[in-house]
Structure 1
Amino acid sequence: MSHTAIVPDHATLRNYLLHHRLPLYYSKPVLAHIETYMAAATAKGFRGKVVDLAEHSECHRTTLGHFLAEGKWDESVLQTKVKTESLRQVMQASERTAEPLFVIHDDTIAQKSKPSSQAEAPIERTGFHHSHLLGKVVWGHQVQATVVGCADFSLVHSIDLYDKTKTHLDGTVYTKIDRVCDLAATLPTPSHGGYALVDSWFTCARVIDSYAAAGYHLIGALKTNRILYPQGIRISVQDFAAHIRKEDVRLVTVNGSSYWTYRYEGALNEIDNAVVLLCWPEQAFGESKALRAFLCTDVSLETETISAYYAKRWPIEIFFRQSKNNLGFDTYQVRSAKAFIRLWALLAFTHLYCTTGLEQPHSFGNGLRIVRKQVQQDRFRAIYECGRSGVPFHVVCEQFKLA
């Protein structure tokens, strides 16, 4: 008796691919591999490795490895879909709520083991980078990401490798700031205001000017050695803070935490006029190590509003943590640059699916739980159909790679 192979039918995933018209760009085998990735990536224990994909596919892991490293398909289609859909969703949210649009930039390290000098095929484009999370220099890939949001709604917009070897036509290095400035030029004009939220690395005149040209203000962290000009006197933030007394500050509460805050408005180096907030935790006023400073180019905002808006930068940290914990963002082992850049494109598309591809918008955590249940149900339904069709148990085990 012959037995027809019965594989899980991930209809909901496939409908999402059809919704974005991916069959216009990709062949059926490529679409099948994308569907496999999304099913595998939403399973518990996914590490971004090819062997994890093979557990959810009829194909051998070498076929899936070839799909990532050498397959004839254009990952920029997925990247463009993510950018377009994320902006469409947050622009709609902004129109509906009359709230400003937020564009959040940050970078992270996908840490790897440093290869032996004798390694014949080390992972491409790795290098030494300083990890702020670990407080030391580590080996791996430095990744820049952008998240867009409105109100309490945020979506991944882009994931890009920071390559120190990339240069402009004139031979100068293409920096992280260059990438942020280039991205600013691609953004739509916000109907209800817009703000770029950045850490101290990107709080500079070039980024401010690029976002101003696009119709956005900037709110960013500020290093305490930056120079202010109160009453025309040149002084660093940290030295100026030493002259601030308790009666000069007021207590501001953001997300349940309180900070003593001093508001400065005036010139900085290369910036004609901006608001600078000097902040200390409620129990640490006057302590130099506890001092934090933030800049806002929109001088019309109240102090509390600036603090509340900057707190909306937190979703990008959550994106990094969730992607590393659940989507294999730093545990992949593919070696070619094309392969891991394609993995990041698939990761971003899967993240977007979990947040916007279901019946209603969800946080990534809730959406992931729903998708996991769907994928598990699809597998159990396939096993059930095998039983109804009289497929022997050993064939089922072989089909689901349990033999």
Structure 2
Amino acid sequence: MLPITDFLSCTDPLDEFDSLSYHQTQHAKTYVTGLAAASSKTVTGIAREVLPAGSDRALNKFITEYNWDEDKLNHERLEELQNHGETRWSKDGYIVIDDSVLQRTGKELPGAGSFYDHSEGKPVWGQNLVYAFYTDHKTSYPLAFRQYEKADDDEEDVEATKYELAQEIITELEEEIGVPAATYLFDSWFAHGSELIKHVESHRKDWIGPLRSNRQVTFDGEEKRVDALAESIDTEEREIDDEVYNIWTKTLPVSKLGEVRLVITEKEVDEDEENPVKYLATNKIDAPSAHIIRSYSKRWRIETFFEDSKEDLGLGGCEVRDSDGASRHWHLQMLTYSLLRLGSPSSVSERLVSKASSLRAQLEHGLKEAIYNMFSWVREQPERDLDGLMEEIDHLFLHSGGSEGCI
């Protein structure tokens, strides 16, 4: 475990944020540096490894007690991203709505419960977050989130459903933040909510999402399941971005959605690969099927965000038992992800590829910077003899818990 002797340079924009006082900014820089470069993403672990933190008590108070507004911080984060051409959003971008289950073991964690995890194919114990995520041809980053909590049967106030939380997020994006992206992308779970679809359309935005196989459609005056329709039609082979698809498309009525454009598509894959038929629906009635398929393929980028954030940025590592503290942890995790997006990989082409997909290049850059800062600290000790300097370095490693592992 490498002791981190200074804040990472990606935290510099925080100096201009109005949502944090000077001392709160130092704590935020500590937290972001820890989420990006420390081996342990808990408050205790970050305070142990990021030496400017001082103590975990002060960092814990920053997360759970200090007076600062995480929503204002989130808006400033998004404003900062608009100051850079490579992360500036546009009407040609997409907003992905999806949720993720953070598997946990603690029973007292805020909102913890049994949730169905699609990646596991079964219910798991954890916390469930609903996210909005921006993506286009050059960048990707989270916009906002809400925590979904199951209501107990004996509670008088029923907690908001995931559909309602998604609508709440959309209202924030459209009416408060003003994200210009013209199209929303959903998975089949969220695309099933007709009120959610109507909410998107009320803001004059388009949407694309897959139908469940049992969704009822009307074709040639007969109502049938969409998977039954797929068995009765003839598809046309098309090549889209070097991939071969078998496609059928038509504008027709779909239950609860009204008149929509339906694209039944199956990509040709190797024999050992599973590739179920997709039934894509959209209110973009006049859009070519190739555009609909290309657009919907952008949805996978939120899965990359979830994977990167869980593995490398502490998305599922928060041990805070206070609900406000947990929310702040997740907001700071989104901040870390975004500030790393503004890092400087070695080339323009690398930057464009990495910013739209994985954070691996930025994380490697952060690790190199932490090592460089360590060496710089050593060089700045000319008055120390070698024995004294080595003793001080040993102290740093002991302070950061060096016996527990490495970054």
The TM-score normalised by the length of structure 2 is 0.82
Task: Find the aligned partners of 1:113 and 1:295 in 2 and give their Cα distance.
Answer: 38
Given the alignment of the two structures, is residue 100 of structure 1 paired with residue 92 of structure 2, yes or no? yes
Given the alignment of the two structures, is residue 8 of structure 1 paired with residue 5 of structure 2, yes or no? yes
Given the alignment of the two structures, is residue 225 of structure 1 paired with residue 214 of structure 2, yes or no? yes
Higher deviation after alignment, 303-312 or 204-213: 204-213
Specify the code of the residue in structure 2 equivalent to 1:241: A
Q: 5 Å matches for 1:92-241?
A: 100-113=92-105, 115=107, 122-165=108-151, 171-187=157-173, 194-203=182-191, 204-241=193-230
**Native 8 Å contact 2:38 2:45 kept in 1:** no
Task: Find the aligned partners of 2:276 and 2:298 in 1 and give their Cα distance.
Answer: 21
Task: Find the aligned partners of 2:283 and 2:371 in 1 and give their Cα distance.
Answer: 49
**Native 8 Å contact 1:90 1:149 kept in 2:** no
Given the alignment of the two structures, is residue 275 of structure 1 paired with residue 264 of structure 2, yes or no? no
Specify the code of the residue in structure 2 equivalent to 1:324: K
CA-CA distance at 1:86 after TM superposition: 4.7
Specify the code of the residue in structure 2 equivalent to 1:366: A
Specify the code of the residue in structure 1 equivalent to 2:37: A
Specify the code of the residue in structure 1 equivalent to 2:374: R
CA-CA distance at 1:206 after TM superposition: 1.8
Equivalent residue, structure 1, for 2:281 = 295
Specify the code of the residue in structure 1 equivalent to 2:183: Y
Task: Find the aligned partners of 1:108 and 1:10 in 2 and give their Cα distance.
Answer: 30
Specify the code of the residue in structure 2 equivalent to 1:15: D
Equivalent residue, structure 2, for 1:242 = 231
Residues 90 and 158 (structure 1), Cα distance of their counterparts in 2 relative to 1, 3 Å cut: farther
Task: Find the aligned partners of 2:41 and 2:224 in 1 and give their Cα distance.
Answer: 49
Specify the code of the residue in structure 1 equivalent to 2:182: G
Given the alignment of the two structures, is residue 37 of structure 1 paired with residue 31 of structure 2, yes or no? yes
Specify the code of the residue in structure 2 equivalent to 1:186: E
Task: Find the aligned partners of 1:60 and 1:196 in 2 and give their Cα distance.
Answer: 43
Task: Find the aligned partners of 2:242 and 2:195 in 1 and give their Cα distance.
Answer: 34
**Native 8 Å contact 1:107 1:142 kept in 2:** yes
Task: Find the aligned partners of 1:284 and 1:344 in 2 and give their Cα distance.
Answer: 39
Equivalent residue, structure 1, for 2:405 = none
CA-CA distance at 1:292 after TM superposition: 2.1
Given the alignment of the two structures, is residue 378 of structure 1 paired with residue 373 of structure 2, yes or no? yes
Q: How many residues in Structure 1 have an aligned counterpart in Structure 2?
A: 377
CA-CA distance at 1:250 after TM superposition: 1.3
SS in 2 for 1:323: helix
**What is the CA RMSD across the aligned residues, in angstroms?**
3.1
Specify the code of the residue in structure 2 equivalent to 1:229: T
**Native 8 Å contact 2:30 2:46 kept in 1:** no
**Native 8 Å contact 2:133 2:143 kept in 1:** yes
**Native 8 Å contact 1:46 1:327 kept in 2:** no
Given the alignment of the two structures, is residue 54 of structure 1 paired with residue 51 of structure 2, yes or no? no
Equivalent residue, structure 2, for 1:329 = 315
Task: Find the aligned partners of 1:152 and 1:172 in 2 and give their Cα distance.
Answer: 40
CA-CA distance at 1:209 after TM superposition: 1.9
Higher deviation after alignment, 83-92 or 100-109: 83-92
Task: Find the aligned partners of 1:84 and 1:175 in 2 and give their Cα distance.
Answer: 29
**Native 8 Å contact 2:309 2:315 kept in 1:** yes
Equivalent residue, structure 2, for 1:397 = 394
Specify the code of the residue in structure 2 equivalent to 1:232: G
**Native 8 Å contact 1:54 1:64 kept in 2:** no
Task: Find the aligned partners of 1:320 and 1:160 in 2 and give their Cα distance.
Answer: 15
Specify the code of the residue in structure 2 equivalent to 1:107: D
CA-CA distance at 1:230 after TM superposition: 0.8
SS in 1 for 2:317: coil
SS in 2 for 1:196: strand
- Deviations, residues 97-151 of structure 1 (Å, cap 9, x unaligned): xx71200111111101154xxxxxx222200100000001000100111111222
Residues 284 and 141 (structure 1), Cα distance of their counterparts in 2 relative to 1, 3 Å cut: same
Task: Find the aligned partners of 2:186 and 2:284 in 1 and give their Cα distance.
Answer: 15
Specify the code of the residue in structure 2 equivalent to 1:219: I
Higher deviation after alignment, 33-42 or 386-395: 386-395
Specify the code of the residue in structure 1 equivalent to 2:236: R
Higher deviation after alignment, 81-90 or 205-214: 81-90
Task: Find the aligned partners of 1:313 and 1:8 in 2 and give their Cα distance.
Answer: 38
Task: Find the aligned partners of 2:343 and 2:269 in 1 and give their Cα distance.
Answer: 44
**Native 8 Å contact 1:40 1:55 kept in 2:** yes
**Native 8 Å contact 2:34 2:41 kept in 1:** no
